[in-house]
Amino acid sequence: MILYGIGVGPGDPELVTLKALRLLEEADLVLVPVSRQGRASVAGDIVTAAWAQRSTPLPELVPLVFPMVRDEEERRRLLEDQLRMLRPRWEGARAAALPVLGDAALYATVAWLFEAWRPLAPELELRLVPGISAHSFAACALSSFLALAEERLAVVPCTAGADEVRRILEAADTAALYKPSALGEDLARTVSAAGPWKHMVRIERGGLPEERILQGEAAISPCSEYLSLVLLWRERASV
């Protein structure tokens, strides 16, 4: 069986690729990631919206809970438990698919799913289908180049902690900070310590109807929105 990790972009359904839609239609099982039982799936909602222009019925979207826990063993166990319950749905199938936000190769939950699924189905193959990343979408929404010529672009998960984020930023000309909410009150201090920065922009829920853009100091104020991204351009960077 093949497991497709399918990037569906950050939120705008018009950015979902034709290949993504075709593979979702062909899959025997389409799982959608949710953070807890009963919650909506952002990736699933994007797929549903993108399907509106198609003549074929929307595939059934089966929720799969991805627990927001740091403990890898606990996360794997919880995913394995769900996969065992779903065994009648996937055993003997040719292909399963998991749509993920942004690009399938960047901070994608499909990596956790494949890791948990492989022991239950040793023949399982993983294939990744690219989508538009959140930082590419954000830069284009601002009509700004992320990097030019020899400028160094850093893509940084704020879950790495303030000290590591600052260390990486100090070596970068431009940067995309994923999950800035993880730094809480330390966001402004961490970014400023690695400055100066010519432009600072935060996009929350980019591409979704509730999209919000904050610039300047507001961009590095404490952030509670999980689906957020901060873009930074240094004084010498071209924008």
What are the extents of the domains in the chain? Answer: 2-129, 134-234
Same fold, 2-129 and 134-234: no
Residues in the chain: 239
Task: Report the distance separating Cα 113 and Cα 108, nearest Å.
Answer: 10
Is residue 107 scored above 80 in pLDDT?
yes
Q: How many CB atoms lie within 10 A of CB 54?
A: 10
pLDDT at residue 238 in the model:
46
Is residue 235 scored above 80 in pLDDT?
no
Note the pLDDT tens digit of each residue in 159-189. 999 999 999 999 999 999 999 999 999 999 9
Is residue 38 scored above 90 in pLDDT?
no
* Two tokens, residue 233: 């351009």
pLDDT at residue 68 in the model:
80
Q: What is the mean predicted confidence (pLDDT) over 149-168?
A: 96
Q: What phi and psi, each to the nearest 5 degrees, are found at residue 51?
A: -75, -10
- State the average pLDDT for the chain: 94
CATH no., domain 134-234: 3.30.950.10
CATH no., domain 2-129: 3.40.1010.10
Share of the chain above pLDDT 70, in %: 98
SS (H, E, C) 54-84: CCCCCCCEEEEECCCCCCHHHHHHHHHHHHH
If DSSP codes are grouped into helix, strand and coil, which group holds residue 195?
Answer: coil
More confident: 71 or 47 = 47
Write out the H or E segment, with its range, that includes residue 163: helix 162-170
Is residue 93 scored above 70 in pLDDT?
yes
- Is the N-terminal amide bond of 196 cis, ω within 30° of 0? yes
Q: What's the pLDDT band for 72 if we cut at 50, 70, 90?
A: confident
